[in-house]
Amino acid sequence: MRVWAQILTRPVLRVVFGIAVAVAFWIQIVGACYYRPLESINWDASPANVDLNHKRLWDWRDTTISRSWHSERPEPLLYFEAWYLLQSNGEQEHARN
């Protein structure tokens, strides 16, 4: 609780805290919406498999987040699958009547 009181009373700490929260939120959005583990831009395997080449884990020029961010956003497959599932259930209900 003491740390939170210091953040609230010091304007510089509030700004730093706000920036840290914004960056964390942005990283979560990039990871959830842009990461494609099974495609050709897969960071884990390209250009070298990270399981075999551990030096890639410390390469700040090519990170998972930066590569995902610079690639194009994939289609939201879960949304489309849910839409088709709901559509097919509606058609089944309509066919019963």
pTM score over 0.75: no
pLDDT tier for residue 74 given thresholds of 50, 70 and 90? low
Q: Which of 39, 35, 83 is nearest to 63 (CA)?
A: 35
pLDDT tier for residue 65 given thresholds of 50, 70 and 90? confident
Q: What is the rounded CA–CA span in Å between residue 59 and residue 37?
A: 19
Q: Which of 36, 21, 31 is nearest to 65 (CA)?
A: 31
Which two three-digit tokens encode residue 9? 């009373």
Mean pLDDT, range 63-75, rounded to an integer: 78
Is the preceding peptide bond at 47 cis, omega within 30 degrees of 0?
yes
The answer to whether residues 62 and 56 touch, using CB atoms and an 8 Å cutoff, is yes
